[in-house]
Amino acid sequence: MTMFCPKCGSLLKPRADKKKKVLACSCGYTSKDSSSAEIKEKIAKEDRHLNVVKEDDSSLPETDAKCPECGNEKAYYWTQQTRAGDEPETKFLKCKKCKHVWRDYS
């Protein structure tokens, strides 16, 4: 069984026709195949896991940033692509004193 229309080349879609399932095209073509036609769609879960630096902070660059937890003025930072590729990277900061991690949206 082919999944493409022999007339126009479009993808054939399942459709109920007189109590049987057939493959049909938007151009009007209908398959003669009376077997069941079914399309299943599987949607993958988006992975929202962020890699937080836990060890060897000394290899990260430092910047002047006030920690919202302890008020310390120094933090390590790194960037990570967390959204679509056409959007800017997200900047993460990690306090040198209390190790609190936060995002910088400025």
**Residue 46: strand, helix, or coil:** coil
- Which of these is catalytic: 33, 86, 89, 104? 86
Instruction: Please tell me the predicted confidence (pLDDT) of residue 56.
Output: 67
Contacts of 80 (CB under 8 A, 6+ apart): 50, 51, 89, 90, 92
- Which of these is catalytic: 46, 55, 56, 87? 87
User: Catalytic annotation on 47?
Assistant: no
Judge whether 98 and 78 are in contact, CB under 8 Å.
Answer: no
pLDDT digits (tens, 9 = 90+) for 33-55: 656 555 566 666 666 665 665 56
Instruction: Please tell me the predicted confidence (pLDDT) of residue 66.
Output: 93
User: Greatest CA span in the chain, whole angstroms?
Assistant: 73
Give the chain's domains with CATH numbers.
1-39 (2.20.25), 57-104 (2.20.25.10)
Q: What are the pLDDT tens digits along the chain (106 aa)?
A: 567 888 888 888 877 666 667 788 888 888 776 565 555 666 666 666 656 655 667 788 999 999 999 999 999 998 888 778 788 888 999 999 998 999 887 7
**Among candidate residues 54, 12, 50, 45, the one with its CA nearest the CA of residue 31:** 12
| Alpha carbon distance 71, 77 (integer Å) | 16
User: Catalytic annotation on 87?
Assistant: yes
